[in-house]
Amino acid sequence: MTSTARSTPASTTQDSNKIPATLIAGDGIGPEIMDAVTAVLDALGAPFAWDRQHGGLAGIAEAGDPLPPATLDSIRRNRLALKGPLTTPIGGGFRSVNVRLREEFQLYANLRPAKTLVPGGRFDDIDLILVRENLEGLYVAFEHYIPIGDDPHAVAISSGVNTRDGSRRIVRYAFEQAVKRGRKKVTLVHKANVLKALTGVFLEAGQEVAREYQGRITCDDRIVDACAMQLVLNPWQFDVIVTTNLFGDILSDLIAGLVGGLGAAPGANIGDRAAIFEAVHGSAPDIAGKGIANPTALVLAAGLMLDHVGLTEQAEHLRRAIHLVLNQNRTRTGDLGGSASTGDFAQALIQRINAQR
């Protein structure tokens, strides 16, 4: 995967072979899975020079801000980051740090591949890519309340925003991903039968872009609720899905369920000024510190990061090691039906990586 944000390895004055990158361990299980991932990357020989920063609850504890200025400055300088899960309060508290990061660095594309890791489940041989628009839609959060009587929150109103230019940009990104990855079809997902303006403009722009790829990539479209049903009934009919912000958030979790859950779901947030890689799952505070969290999603996100900086051979080496650990060693954490600890899984990966040298 490449982007104008960083398509080739950069250098530092200290070590020309090192790629400067911001590392945010995150909240809850974040620090322990990040420790596992950095150990695996070290074994792989991945040449990142980590600038460790804070975010979320750790950012509040360190600097009184869930997204401290030092963290923003680091990402702005490095244009590359690996991020653990960050806690977002439900209903109140501070605004989502993930959303703020996407807005701050204009990370317009959210790439979420889903591939079967452990065969034999209810769904097998899944290999899908979901591309989600990251900056528009209902997640712009133009929200307010209207008080009635004694209730200051009697009516809640939210407005969504989709632009033709933003829609063209994300659909073109999806088609370019399809071309680069040898995919055959892109599906536009919308709700233009009801939200005729908000998602109608996305569908129109998407069909316009699709015409540029005629003869190379086929294109169809689905209404979002029908797409959700068809993903469960016959997910193999899909290849690359591109959709708006809210629909992409929901469908990406559904697709993760086809391959074993969020513990196997990596994500990449791509813009022209920066790229941030993350696990899709949350901070799971209920299991934090128990050493049982599955680091696979964050390891896979690190693989996407390696792809992004042009280290595709190391990325493939990493993904091969994951496959062997899960399916030959059968070293799996509890969410994948095993009993391995976070550290056990990381050590098994390191051993596989060393054995492949």
Q: Which positions are catalytic?
A: 139, 191, 225, 249
Q: Give the N- to C-terminal CA distance of the chain in Å, as an integer.
A: 24
Long-range contacts of residues 59-63, Cβ cutoff 8 Å, at least 24 apart: 59/97, 60/94
